[in-house]
Amino acid sequence: MLFHLSHNYMLGVGVLIFAFLFFYIPLIYAFFTIRKQQRKQNKL
């Protein structure tokens, strides 16, 4: 029973980590692309 609960807990944590990465990687990517665009504008 304890192993089953721990397995479900690990599965839930894995899903949370996957969702976290799935939502935040595009946000971080967009953040860096915007910063690069701002740097180009500052040079001009």
What are the boundaries of each domain within the chain? 1-39
* pLDDT for the residue 29: 95
Alpha-carbon separation of residue 33 from 4, 19, 23, 37 (angstroms): 44, 22, 16, 6
* pLDDT for the residue 23: 94
* pLDDT for the residue 40: 74
pLDDT in tens, the chain (44 residues): 556 668 888 899 999 999 999 999 999 999 999 999 887 776 66
pTM, entire model: 0.50
State the Cα–Cα distance between residues 23 and 31, nearest whole angstrom.
13
- Token pair 């990465």: residue: 21
